[in-house]
Amino acid sequence: MKLMNEIKKYGITISLSIIILILCFMNTAPLPSVPMTNFDKIVHLLMFLGLSGVVFFDNTKYCRRRISYQRLVLGSFLFPVVFSGLIEIIQEYFTTNRTGDWMDFLFDGIGGLLGLAICLKINSRLKK
């Protein structure tokens, strides 16, 4: 019962995480190429900016009790970064159609950090 409550609380985070997993493991060979250099890095940044934001707002929405600022910040930044790192490791060592990339991981982390910064700014304005 408690597990189902947690799944309900973090349904958006779980859904977005599954979408990111699908995007990160799908075969990209049939997709048309984009004439922009490093377009995939922008996509990585945006995916994990969004994930960080969703985690932040899921935590602030459902944690009616006081949640520590440190826990909020760590959860909203560390979850996307650890998730990203695991994806890159799995891509490198356990798939044949994808490879892990340190630059993808870097842009995932930047996205997570930007998402957290944006959410903190929005949250502080909402409290005023």
- Predicted pLDDT of residue 104: 94
Helix (H) / strand (E) containing 95: none
Task: Give the pTM.
Answer: 0.87
Query: What are the pLDDT digits (tens) for 54-77?
Result: 999 888 876 655 677 788 888 899
Q: What is the 3-state secondary structure (H, E, C) of the chain?
A: CHHHHHHHHCHHHHHHHHHHHHHHHCCCCCCCCCCCCCHHHHHHHHHHHHHHHHHHHHHHHHCCCCCCHHHHHHHHHHHHHHHHHHHHHHHHHHCCCCCCCHHHHHHHHHHHHHHHHHHHHHHHHHHC
Contact 111, 41 (CB under 8 A): no
Lowest model confidence (mean pLDDT) among 12-21, 69-78, 107-116? 69-78
DSSP state for residue 21 in the 8-state scheme: H
What counts of helices (H) and strands (E) characterise the chain? 5, 0
* Domain spans, the chain: 2-25+38-127
Residue found by looking up tokens 């997570």 in the block: 112
